[in-house]
Amino acid sequence: MPPRVISDRYELIEQFGHGGMGNVWRGFDRVLDRPVAVKVVRDDAITSVEAAEEFAKRFRREARITARIQHAGVPQVFDAVLDPDDPDDLYEQLYLVMELIDGIPLGAYIRPEHPLPVSWAVAVAAQVSTVLSHAHDVPVVHRDLKPGNILVARDGTVKVLDFGIASVLRTDVTKLTATGRPIGTSIYMSPEQVQGGRITPQSDLYSLGCVLHELLSGRPLFTGSDFQVMRQQVEAAPTPLRQLRADVPVEIEDLVRHLLLKSPDRRPADSQTVYERLLPFLPPAGQPPAPSETGPVGAPDPTGVFRHPFAPRPRRTASVITPTPTVVDANQGPVVVPEQLRDEIKDAFAHSNALLEEERFAQAAEVLGEVIGPAAQALGAESSDVLELRRQRAAIRFLGGDYRQALPEFDALADAYARTVGVTSEDARVCRTQAAHCRAELGQVTVALQQFQTILGQVRAIESDASDEAIDLRRSIGFLLLAESRLSEARSMLEPLHTDMCVVYGPDDDETREIAEALARIDYGLSEG
């Protein structure tokens, strides 16, 4: 199937990101013959004329704000259509074309068992502070600074993404938020954001403090449900870094404590001040990294831009950084798939999909199996094309109720994605989640619960507790506990979930009502007991 083309110019090749208002695609500009990132409206997002107008405002806002921040740490805006003629057809008429970043999400660097070297964490924070200095000069406040919105490019340059909910510090700017709901992500949200107070550049500095604390400690500043975290942001004192990690310099611990002060007026005066306090801990030019400064294997080194400023691009070697779904090497490109094999893969998908529409699940899976072997031999067992074939086959087996065959495939896929794109990557998480669903269906409830809870912990470290993925995981955990008659535990999971879903989806949403009904059954069961 040929890729979708926007405005007869931009091919949408592969989706690698999504948010509340749009999907981000790896695309290709036919006119200028280069890869690009294309943000388009989600197909299912436009539910009313009001929603269409809101999306148009947000796209316009992100494009214009991002274009105004002239800094290497902010993706360039190449093209945009921001004023659609037909609000009922925004998908074809409203889009944003940007620089495609060849990088790894900062969340992939955060591992509780292997905290980052201090120099790496400091280098990330220093680069982010330089981006903020340019943004705040516009003046723009990002309002959603978090590891999920930060990439480390292959040359070590840190990129700050997604200015879609950024606030321009002007009194006449429309507030793009649902009534009564703070904007941002709770784990990284400043106290004034939680309380609906005035947003200033110091709000971004608080978020930077949350990120730096997490980079150095390997865990979020606060944990719990979305609303529990918000309350802690307002009331709780952060755990001092040196209690969590003794090798953190006192000066860095003091800086993080300063960034995380509850009152904006007591935080550092500006991002330039933050950079100056980080500067003594940045590696001097020309100095190679010490053994203690070695970070995750194969990951881009954010200290490199300080060690070798304005250095030429490194020569290519046999060791290539393992990419995440957002990584695209514009120069080297993906592994070339032989034309005949590409046609065979394409035909296998088409044939399998046709069988799937007729609910002929076993045959649909078998058709894909016939091409997996030759593809793995030609491209490698863990190439993206082969993994996609295996993933589709596992999904078909799951849909057909063949959980015993789907389970080992999802386990193997999760391990493969962990090796190729990171343990906490979206691909690895999705496959682990599917494996947990298989175990639940096969009656392996204890292991399924443990797996869901582990994945939920990973999601909470990256996204909001009220993100779509977190909500789905919390729901699965709650209903498994309910099925096991662990009523008190089920209520502890589903009650805050219901509160979050009322905010995110509304109390009349079908799934929100389902949770409310489950809570009513739990309360009835407890009262009977």
> d(Cα 195, Cα 334) in Å, to the nearest integer?
46
Token pair listed for 211: 């990120």
- Asked if residues 438 and 430 have their Cβ atoms less than 8 Å apart, the reply is no
Q: Which of 496, 426, 491, 495 minimizes the C-alpha distance to 224? A: 496
Question: What is the per-residue burial (b if ≥16 Cβ within 10 Å, else e) of 473-489?
Answer: bbbbbbbbbbeeebbeb
**Adjacency order of strands within the sheet including 158-160:** 103-105, 150-153, 158-160
- Asked if residues 26 and 328 have their Cβ atoms less than 8 Å apart, the reply is yes
- CA separation (Å) from 3 to 150, 340, 369, 505? 28, 19, 24, 32
CA atoms within 13 A on the CB side of 408: 2
Q: What angle do CA 173, 176, 178 make, to 5 degrees?
A: 140
Token pair listed for 255: 């800086």
- Asked if residues 471 and 493 have their Cβ atoms less than 8 Å apart, the reply is no
Q: Which helix (H) or strand (E) holds 11?
A: strand 10-18
> d(Cα 196, Cα 233) in Å, to the nearest integer?
13
- Asked if residues 41 and 105 have their Cβ atoms less than 8 Å apart, the reply is no
How many other C-beta atoms are found inside a 10 Å radius of the C-beta of residue 56? Answer: 20
Phi first, then psi: what are they for 97, rounded to 5°? -110, 125
- CA separation (Å) from 53 to 50, 58, 133, 202, 204? 5, 9, 31, 30, 27
Active-site annotation, residues: 144
Residues 136, 138, 139, 145: is their CA dihedral positive or negative?
Answer: negative
Token pair listed for 16: 């690698």
